[in-house]
Structure 1
């Protein structure tokens, strides 16, 4: 018997890691490498970011010693000011760059901070299907319960479906809300369907959130990738939703720079302050040069 086995006779892993150890992207990436096939599952492009983005990054890393040191823990000041100014016009609310914005290591860490900071053991979280794979394990890790409601095709038997043919039943969604419901997670534009929620669909979700005093975690990393006349609408811009919406965005999808891992959260300061607590005890802050470039 080895020394490690003698010392560690008790349970080694924390219980919260059980049942969440498998990850579809880790598995598929390994399979694609082992069998030398094209991996169509992982969400990154096979082309470089635009030239002006690459040049800006080179300029940032050559910008002196401060570009290689710590910056403000919750977001590089020029970046949070730019995000606040830009999105204030879109949501119709004056965003405070120091109180209402948190820069994260990609949208992934933004989601992690949201679930860790806002979901308690026993809370229910409604997740609209289909969804990005990390939502469910992140809910499970904090002791929450995922409750699913699907988007369904409204044109039964149609030979060809568009993303707009997938809809959320108001009655079915309403039935999922209980006194234990703490949040709902939506993803618009949706991965993998590409569905862009219309204003009336978002209003239906907003009405239920307000009625049941529930948070809305809105994953909007594909907000600038809309086509065929579709318009992305932020649910945080609807009446009564700024105070209860956690809007998550990312520069990676927009600029084809997923490896830079620059994401952000925009929300009311009374929500963001709890996410900052997780952030400062997790990664503390994000790479300075990548934030300067974004």
Structure 2
């Protein structure tokens, strides 16, 4: 045997020797190994399977995300598309933003300034944070430093993520007012926080009701607070209910935050969409609350451009700084041209604020209120009971008095999930099940409702009405 052959055999032996003990585990003896093809299909598959089993505990997601996988937007968005359903589910307009907003984006992208296409300041484009400081200083009653009191992230979603991850320690307790936007719960869980839930409860359920009829029990809310409570999360106006909290309700929350030395995370993305004689009050503007509140806003909601995914947080430096650090180490910064465009659009609107008919902050609500009323009337006409919202652009509609036999969809999901699946597939009308906005123990409060979105063209709402009327007519027969 030549020196070359001996060397080659030696290398082969060296390579397969570590595999022999594992081969024995899967029923291949050391002797039989030599009599079979080294890479036979059965042997190699067995080895691979055994190897994967050995490493399976590492080839998996982190424990902190377990239980957060289910997402209504994925399921019901896909269901609407597959069934070509009229979509009153997800909250986005089916019309363009104001022309000047589009023009600002086009100008930013076409600018001769090469910096419009490069990184900008991590926690907020200088022009944008200056505009936000100018807008919110009088609204909150504080002179805001653009660099220390303002931070920007990828939508209000990103701002809330930075707040929860940057401010909540494992074991900290967080009080969440229900119904809540569905990301609140998993965000707290991933941060290692312990969530406690306090629901708004309806004082009347028959006929046409208002979101004003849904209230908090002060004693129940205080029972959720203790010395370990780190934060309260409140959504005002509320999604999906449309509740606009009164000054007295906000003062009650503020008193608890001060009594238990608690942060308030106030999600106010629908701040400009308030109807009738209702007033939106910022909890950060109440006595003693600015130093413990992060106020969150959204360019997507404010300017009807949800796809731009840009949001902001306003608060004291000791709360904003940790959020800026988190954002810097997570996404670093947001797209420069989007921030430049939003800055220009906000500056334009700020200059129009003394002329409400010309300012989109105010004119959008005037445009949406008739749409709200149109949808409420349609629902009444077909035997559904709307909860008329004080703010936002969603409407909870009671389906509890309908006698529709829902098919068994093979799940143990709440009734509203089954109803929305049926309505999307059979009626070709998409909605969102509101029980998704509740913790398990309170899902019954939402399971006899559906959530419709009314920031749509009039013809879209009318088309939805035609679908419902056709169905209601067939039911009566």
Scaled by the length of structure 1, the TM-score of the pair is: 0.96
5+ residue gaps in structure 1? none
Pairing of 1:175-190 with structure 2 (within 5 A):
175-190=223-238
CA distance in 2, matches of 1:146, 1:6: 35
Which of 137, 157, 161 is the equivalent residue of 2:209?
161
CA distance in 2, matches of 1:23, 1:5: 29
CA distance in 2, matches of 1:277, 1:126: 24
CA distance in 2, matches of 1:280, 1:136: 23
5+ residue gaps in structure 2? 1-44, 343-477
Partner of 2:263: 215
CA distance in 2, matches of 1:49, 1:140: 35
Which of 220, 225, 228 is the equivalent residue of 1:172?
220
Pairing of 1:260-271 with structure 2 (within 5 A):
260-271=308-319
Give the number of equivalent residue pairs: 293
Scaled by the length of structure 2, the TM-score of the pair is: 0.60
Partner of 1:115: 164
The alignment status of 1:138 with 2:181, answered yes or no, reads no
Which of 185, 188, 194 is the equivalent residue of 2:242?
194
Pairing of 1:1-294 with structure 2 (within 5 A):
1=45, 2=48, 5=52, 8-11=55-58, 12-64=60-112, 65-154=114-203, 156-294=204-342
RMSD: 1.4
CA distance in 2, matches of 1:38, 1:121: 43
Q: Which has the higher contact order (CA 8 A, sep 6+)?
A: 1
3-state secondary structure, aligned to 1:291: helix
3-state secondary structure, aligned to 1:107: helix
Change (3 A) 1:60 1:157: closer
CA distance in 2, matches of 1:153, 1:21: 30
Between Structure 1 and Structure 2, the one with more helix by share is: 2
Change (3 A) 1:7 1:165: same
CA distance in 2, matches of 1:38, 1:278: 39
3-state secondary structure, aligned to 1:96: coil
Q: Tell me by how many angstroms 1:7 deviates.
A: 8.1
3-state secondary structure, aligned to 1:112: helix
Which has the greater radius of gyration?
A: 2
Partner of 2:371: none
Q: Tell me by how many angstroms 1:38 deviates.
A: 2.5
Change (3 A) 1:157 1:49: closer
